[in-house]
Amino acid sequence: MACGTCSTGDDKNGGIPAGCNNNGSCGTGGGCNKLNVFDWLGNMSLPDGQAQCDVVEIRFKNSRKEFYRNVNNLTLNVGDIVATEASPGHDIGVVSITGELVRLQLKKKNINYASEEIKKVYRKAKQQDIDKWKEAQALEVESMFKSRTLALKLGLQMKISDVEYQGDKSKAVFYYTADGRVDFRELIKVMADTFKVRIEMRQIGARQEAARLGAIGSCGRELCCSTWLNDFRTVSTSAARYQQLSLNPLKLAGQCGKLKCCLNYELDSYLDALKEFPEIDNRRLATEKGFAFHQKTDIFKRIIWWSYTSEPDVFVPLTIARTKEIFKLNADNIKPADLLEPKQFKEIELAKLPDYENVVGQDSLTRFDDRKKHNNKSKNNRKPQHANKPAAINTSEPSETITKVPQHKNPNQKKSVNPNQQKAANPNQNRPQNPNQNKPNPNQNKPQNPNQNKAKHPNQGPPKHQNASDNNATTNKEKPQHKKPVHNHKPKPKNDDSPSA
């Protein structure tokens, strides 16, 4: 028979969950039930002559735990399902702690070990007891919804958050929260007639409700009150002020709607650290430069930040000793020249808060304009200039070769910002000229084609006479310098005025 809420148990192990194999203590970290306790005294042997503790801790639904005395000397392990004393009848629960660790829990909760009010453990639960217990658990959700409907019909200002049936199905406990006192006598009568069991109403607080139901906190972990915390202390807003936290109720409130219990965890450390800081309480520092008011306190770095009234955006860091020194000088009606000491001017610079709204210029609409203009200029520099364009070649006179004088760069001249600006403008600009470019055309003095002046269309006017040299000159104008050389074969005569085929 295994644990009812853990699948790691096995009948071979006598119903003990596997977990970390330390006396049945489950090592899942609260995965199967709430408020788990690790038995760190389980492997220790008792001194000679000392009797073993006969009180065990038994867990019921959610976070309800109670202590019971093992009067029949039963062999009980963690995870065993037992039948316990109840009023009336009996209840079914699961053993959570055994051994000497129970003594420490009794002392922690101020319960006398020899008290007669501790109830008894009857026996280990039988299969019939377990079946009846599971039937009772199946009725809890439906009963909760019905009870909420009945409370609304009666107009009661209360919220029923949980229902727990006793193991023998003879009694049902309804847990509710309310802002004030509620007269639920009529509600108990109606619920008793509806569910046919004995009804008990228990009012709990918002934190106890969150502990019973369980949830995930803003930190991403399970709630402390549903996993290990069972001592609910009062939390005030002064705990947030001492820790330099913003008083935002949305961030300081927990799942229960109250202030988070974790605000008290590190409060003592902050209070001890603040004892060395001077009491500020809206006090100002008087200097010859002007008055300075308190901005913030860095407890970990032990620095107090001040700002002049004339320069509220400039934060000046001061040590605790320097702040106390200025307070003492002001008490004697002495004003120092500046907040910082003379030797600190070279070491400490005035710290100015960064502009978090526009750190890298993401809000500027014109942040790319200068870059685009610079890129356009570099593109214009890469285009070939007018002097590099091919000029018309006069075949009658030999053309003069143009030599380009190299320009000496200034070594002190700054390089261009654009990396593409240093590339060559035209890759064909420095190539050698065509060797056949300056040679005379052998077909220049040949007679024209006799069929050249014939009209090819009847509607076309008389053809225009054109000199062959002029014709060659115009064709040379249209050809750039990097074209192929002119061949020696006889070209076909071209007539610009002839119509297209």
Q: What residues does each domain of the chain span?
A: 11-125, 135-212, 233-274, 285-352
Q: What pLDDT score does 381 carry? A: 61
Residue 485 pLDDT grade (very low, low, confident, very high; cuts 50, 70, 90): low
The per-residue b/e assignment along 9-38, b for 16 or more CB within 10 angstroms, e otherwise, is beeeeebbbbbeeebbbbeeeeebbbbbbb
Residue 36 pLDDT grade (very low, low, confident, very high; cuts 50, 70, 90): confident
Q: What pLDDT score does 45 carry? A: 84
Selection from 286, 351, 269 nearest residue 323 by Cα: 286
For range 245-261, the mean pLDDT:
91
Residue 344 pLDDT grade (very low, low, confident, very high; cuts 50, 70, 90): low
Neighbours of 173 (CB within 10 A): 17
Q: What pLDDT score does 490 carry? A: 54
- C-alpha 58/C-alpha 94 separation (Å) is 5
Contact 306, 314 (CB under 8 A): no
How far is the first Cα of the chain from the last one, in angstroms, to the nearest whole number? 105
For range 131-152, the mean pLDDT:
94
3-state helix/strand/coil string of 224-266: HHHHCCCCCCCCCCHHHHHCCCCCCHHHHECCCCCECHHHHCC
Residues in the chain, how many? 501
Beta bridge partner(s), residue 57:
67, 97
Contact 97, 24 (CB under 8 A): no
Selection from 234, 306, 302 nearest residue 270 by Cα: 302
Which tokens belong to 224?
Answer: 């402390």
Instruction: Give the ranges where 311-396 is alpha helix by DSSP (H).
Output: 320-331, 369-382
Q: How many CA atoms lie within 13 A of 163 on its CB side?
A: 24
Q: How many CA atoms lie within 13 A of 341 on its CB side?
A: 10
In this predicted structure, which of 153-157, 240-244, 268-272, 429-433 has the lowest mean pLDDT?
A: 429-433
Q: What pLDDT score does 42 carry? A: 81
Contact 353, 305 (CB under 8 A): no
Q: What pLDDT score does 304 carry? A: 93
Which tokens belong to 453?
Answer: 């002046």
**Torsion angle defined by CA atoms of residues 163, 166, 172 and 178, in that order, rounded to the nearest 10 degrees:** -40
Contact 71, 25 (CB under 8 A): no
What does the DSSP 8-state code read for residue 457? Answer: S
Selection from 148, 145, 159 nearest residue 206 by Cα: 159
Q: What pLDDT score does 23 carry? A: 44
E strands present in 70-133: 81-85, 90-97, 119-124
Burial (CB < 10 A; 0-12, 13-18, 19+), residue 74, is middle
Relative to beta strand 81-85, strand 90-97 is antiparallel
| Mean pLDDT estimate for the chain | 75
Residue with the bigger pLDDT between 361 and 58: it is 58
Is the pLDDT assigned to residue 93 strictly greater than 90?
A: yes
Name the fold adopted by 135-212: GMP Synthetase; Chain A, domain 3 (3.30.300)
Neighbours of 144 (CB within 10 A): 17
* Helix/strand/coil for 466: coil
H/E stretch holding 477: helix 468-478
Neighbours of 388 (CB within 10 A): 14
Select the highest-mean-pLDDT range: 135-139, 423-427, 491-495.
Answer: 135-139
Q: Is the bond into 88 cis (omega within 30 degrees of 0)?
A: yes
Which tokens belong to 338?
Answer: 């500046």
- Amino acid of residue 272: D
- C-alpha 58/C-alpha 64 separation (Å) is 9
